[in-house]
A and B are shown apart, each in its own frame.
Chain A
Amino acid sequence: MAFLEYLADPSTQRSLLEQSGEHLFLTLVPVAIAIVLGVGLGIWAHRVPALSRTIVGATSTVLTIPSLALFAIFVPLVGIGNTAPMIALTLYALLPIVRNTVSGLYSVDNAVVESAKGMGMGATKRLLKIELPNAWPVMLAGIRVATLLTIGIAAIAVLAGGDGLGTEIFRGLRRIGSAGAFESLLGGTLAVVVLALLIDLAYLAIGRLTIPRGIRE
């Protein structure tokens, strides 16, 4: 089958691997930044409930904006290339993380927080040692969703001058009608799916490692 030949071709393998690396970079850096920002915003929103609706509302508004447009908005600021998409991707990844941080913190049993308070644990210590660890499973789920979201959208970065696996997909698109188009389309798309599956497995492993036995389902 033509697709298998395509896969077997070393130059295909090279470019797919290279692009996968780029794609991971495009995904993981924004997610990392979104984790820092999102968890912080989430903790703040949890502390100040009046604020939470505004914060969650703002992040969900951002998610409604189509990706190409959000990429494009930053291009005049930082130029063509990876940076504009990465800023936009960071913003996209915020919503799941903020929302799950807030709901995770709310899900911690009141009795647990009160007994910690009653034993003389200060507010910061309570947050770090009691509330966040117990909210972690929900937070991790949000981070996972954010990552999968980002992997998908990152495929569009190529349209704003970025790289990643979108390059291969776009290559196929431009050659529709001639040979090799389908293979490139499929190759690029499948590579993204494979990457997503690997990331998903990684999160499963992270969950196993970081969620204490006492609160595992």
Chain B
Amino acid sequence: MAVSTALPEPDQDAAALGRSEDAAATKRAKRSKLVRYVAMPGFLLLLNVATFLWLSGQDLDSIERRTLTAENLIGKAQEHVWLTLLSTTFVLLLAIPFGILATRPRYRRFAPGIIGLGNAGQAIPSFGMLALLFYLFRVTPWLPSTGTLPVVVALVGYSFLPILRNTMVGLDQVDSSVLEAGRGMGMSERRVLRRIELPLAVPVILAGIRTALVLNVGTATLAFLFGGGGLGDVVYNGLSLRRIPITIVGAVLVATLALLVDYIASLIEEKLTPKGL
């Protein structure tokens, strides 16, 4: 049987072919990575520029002009960011240690109950829960009923269960065989936690931070209902006063802030996740 003579020179050419294919693939991968990094900021930039351009073409009445000053908007944005950061920090300080504790062998039996509660809690509307928590604050005599504290507590209260649940589920997924190997080598429970579980849990925690940030920047939009200010105030103003420019600017700014926070959080998540995970 005649063997095809069209084969290239054995190893040399095949390797060269392989190498050039690899190079092309890497270049493609690099390009798509660049696109991914630039896509969101680029989109946000375009969105805001477009809104601004549209706005400058509008005839604004006095109310609109007063509301849509840079000073006012920046102030609202600052309130919003501040609320987000505060509530996120506190909820993480509470939920992550709690989550670690709840996944310890000693307290394992409570875990399904807590996760179930967290699942059920998803059904509670943010609006209602925030309002109830805020009300509780108002009603309790020895708790301050004005200022940002009630709002922050309400935000923390609302995001606590979801973050706790995510943390617990994430920690559970840390490979149990790896843990067993650690214990098998004679590591104490605390050592296993520190040396194996925590490093492996870093991605879980980073994801939790990102989720908390996004969740809170969203619920902080409703902070204005409780005297907390924030960009939601601008949006609601626009809606209740039936002023389209205010509505649009408010909505675009809120969306931009939320997407920006998510974007930055995802970058941090990516950068801080140990390689190999």
Contacts and interface: CB of A to CB of B under 8 A. Distances in A.
Interface string A53-65: 0000000010011
Given A148-B123, A176-B138, A192-B125, A69 B239 contact: no
A96 to B, nearest CB: 12
A189 B259 contact: no
A186 interface: yes
Contact of B254 (A69, A149, A166, A172): A69
Contacts of B247: 72, 75-76
A173 interface: yes
Chain B CB within 10 Å, residue with most, of A68, A73, A192: A68
A189 B124 contact: yes
Given A172-B131, A176-B138, A181-B135, A68 B221 contact: yes
B52 to A, nearest CB: 16
A155 B218 contact: no
A189 B129 contact: yes
Q: Classify the interface of chain A: helix, strand, loop or mixed.
A: helix
A124 to B, nearest CB: 32
Contacts of B124: 152, 189, 192-193
Given A61-B259, A72-B238, A197-B123, A66 B221 contact: yes
B221 A193 contact: no
Contacts of A65: 254-255, 258-259
Given A159-B236, A185-B132, A186-B132, A68 B125 contact: no
Contact of B123 (A61, A165, A185, A193): A193
Contacts of B123: 148, 151-152, 192-193, 196-197, 200
Main secondary structure of the interface of B (DSSP, over half): helix
B193 interface: no
B135 A69 contact: no
Interface string A5-20: 0000000000000000
B140 to A, nearest CB: 12
Contacts, number: 123
A203 B255 CA distance: 32
Most-contacted residue by chain A among B40, B122, B251 (CB, 10 A): B251
Contacts of A152: 122-126
A170 B222 CA distance: 12
Interface residues of B, number: 39
A80 interface: yes
Contact of A69 (B134, B219, B235, B244): B235
A156 B125 CA distance: 9
B251 A69 contact: yes
Given A66-B254, A66-B255, A76-B244, A176 B122 contact: no
A159 to B, nearest CB: 6
A66 B218 CA distance: 5
Can you list the 7 inter-chain pairs with the closest CB atoms, starting with the nearest? A189-B128, A196-B123, A155-B125, A69-B254, A72-B251, A66-B221, A66-B218
Given A64-B259, A165-B125, A185-B131, 12 more contacts: A65-B258, A67-B221, A68-B222, A69-B258, A72-B247, A72-B250, A148-B123, A155-B128, A176-B134, A185-B132, A189-B129, A192-B124
26 contacts: A61-B40, A64-B214, A65-B254, A66-B218, A66-B254, A68-B232, A68-B251, A69-B250, A69-B251, A69-B252, A70-B255, A73-B251, A75-B244, A76-B244, A80-B239, A148-B122, A151-B123, A153-B125, A161-B239, A169-B125, A169-B131, A176-B138, A185-B128, A189-B131, A192-B125, A197-B123
Interface of A: 61, 64-70, 72-73, 75-76, 80, 148-149, 151-156, 159-161, 165-166, 169-170, 172-173, 176-177, 181-182, 185-186, 188-189, 192-193, 196-197, 200
